[in-house]
Structure 1
Amino acid sequence: MELIDDIYMDMRILEPIPPFQFEGISDSIHQSNLKNYDQILKDYKLRESAIGIDTSRTVLVIHDSIKLPHKPNLKYLKNHFCSYQIKTDSLIQSSVYKIDLNKFKSAKFNFMSSASFPQNSEIWNIEHPFHIGAAISFTTITFDTNRKFGVLEGGIVYGRLNGHGFRIYIKKENNDWIIDFIEETWIS
């Protein structure tokens, strides 16, 4: 759940960006833009309040079939954890598997398999009786030889052309896996 909390952002409550004063734009148009922005901001505040008291859980669509990464992540693993002098004499790639979504428990989210939805961007073209917050996918984990460090990739999509990818570096501390760092790899 820590990973979901670190990567998920509720797009419904992002504050609108104020209008810019562009060179060459007249003062009257700029004032009109500011007035329109005031209405957008009022609408946002109402929406934010309504979402704040909404007790229904957001649906996160999970691609539960974990796949191999597109590129070998060994070089990223070695570069990120270079100060630890990790052993990478043999690449350990976790096997391809299916996530058991029944193990995920959250007061904020309902997790649903992507197999229940249209594939690719078609998921966003259909009305649902619930709010889909995002569609999320992950690759397998690439471990060092001693399985103390790892790296995996993922992506989160909030709509047809709204998402980003990330590389997640993890390490073992006191027999628990923790997130060491998350870096952005792509944005749409």
Structure 2
Amino acid sequence: MTKKQTFVIITIFLLFISCEKKQTALEFEKSVANEIFPALLDSLFHDTRLAPSPPPPPNSEWSDSTAVKWDESKMIAEYEKRKAELEKDTTKLVIAIVDSTYQINERAKKELIEFYRDFAIELDTANIDQSYKINLSELKHDDKFKLKYRSEFPATSKVWKGDYDFRLSGITGFSRIQFDRTKNYGVMISGFGCGRLCGFSGLVFIRKLNGKWIIDKIKVTAIS
């Protein structure tokens, strides 16, 4: 290979590198949100077709004059049976996703520093006040779910009384992500609604571990 040929190859290579598109801060944030979404939905989802698990038996030290008869074995058996039936059910469960991200708040930022205090993190100062439209096609999820935009449903609590040809199993969404300076730790706000007076919201603490984003904890801050 001549010096001229070598020079041409190196020039083309350098041009390719310089033209390669760099990922913006927003693109990075969206990629993290999309990556964490399957685990987020799995953690938040509550199937209202399944009754809560049976409560524990009463405290044996209670000195009530009326004897309490308690046999949870039947309740547990019925619960496990129903759970197994639902796991085999191939019906698509529709989840409504709030169209755009929420704003993050100062409480979440303070909680991020406190939660990861052992790592002495500092907040990323990038502006995350602006929301962005969530692209449903980019959100990966379990095959049992089908995603629709929240705007496709009534804006009020009538959303739960709609005559649909599918089962609306919940409403969720998420905020912008507040990262630390290294972009290895973050917090977002999310929640799940399963009825007019059924749901919760909280802070979702995430971090990068072995090259992948994971949920460390969901701290519930409101419940109904």
After TM superposition, the score normalised by the length of structure 1 is 0.78
Residues in 2 aligned to 1:50 and 1:13: alpha-carbon distance in whole angstroms: 10
2: CA distance, partners of 1:120 / 1:7: 21
Q: Matched residues in 2 for 1:171 and 1:70: separation?
A: 19
| 2:137 aligned partner | 102
Secondary structure of the equivalent of 1:76?
A: helix
Q: Which residue of the partner structure matches residue 98 of structure 2? A: 63
CA contact (8 A) 1:153 1:168 kept: yes
Cα offsets for 1:80-117 (capped at 9, x unmatched): 00000112373653752111111234311001111111
Q: Which has the larger radius of gyration?
A: 2
Q: Which runs of 5+ in 2 are unaligned?
A: 1-37
Listed as ranges, the gaps of 5+ residues in structure 1 are none
The corresponding residue for 1:143 is 179
Looking at secondary structure, tell me which structure has more strand per residue. Answer: 1
Q: 134-143 vs 50-59, which deviates more?
A: 50-59
1:92–1:144 contact (8 Å) kept in structure 2: no
Q: Are 2:204 and 2:218, in contact at CA under 8 Å, matched by a contact in 1? A: yes
3-state secondary structure, aligned to 2:49 = helix
How big is each residue's C-alpha offset from its partner over 1:107-149, in whole Å with a ceiling of 9 and x where there is no partner?
Answer: 1100111111111312112121111111002111111122121
**Residue of structure 2 equivalent to 1:114:** 150
Instruction: Give TM-score scaled by structure 2 length.
Output: 0.67
**1:91–1:145 contact (8 Å) kept in structure 2:** no
Aligned residues: 180
Change (3 A) 1:96 1:77: same
Cα-to-partner distance string for 1:9-65 (whole Å, 9 max, x where unaligned): 2121124757x99x99x89xx99xx9xxx8x99997886565344211100111031
- 8 Å CA contact 2:104–2:129 kept in 1: the answer is no
- Match of 1:11, SS state, is coil
> Residues 134, 151 of structure 1: CA spacing in aligned structure 2 closer, same or farther, 3 A cutoff?
same
Residues 1:2 and 2:39 are matched in the alignment: yes
Identity value in percent: 29
Measure, in 1, the Cα distance between the counterparts of 2:80 and 2:216.
35
**CA 1:131–1:47 in 2, change beyond 3 Å: closer, same or farther?**
farther
Distance in 2 of aligned mates of 1:83 and 1:135? 34
2-structure distance, mates of 1:57, 1:9: 14
The worse-fitting range, judged by mean Cα deviation, of 69-78 and 161-170 is 69-78
After superposition, the Cα gap between the structure-2 partners of 1:142 and 1:60, relative to the gap in structure 1 and judged at 3 Å, is: same
Change (3 A) 1:46 1:86: closer
SS in 2 for 1:87: coil
Equivalent position amino acid for 1:6 in 2: S
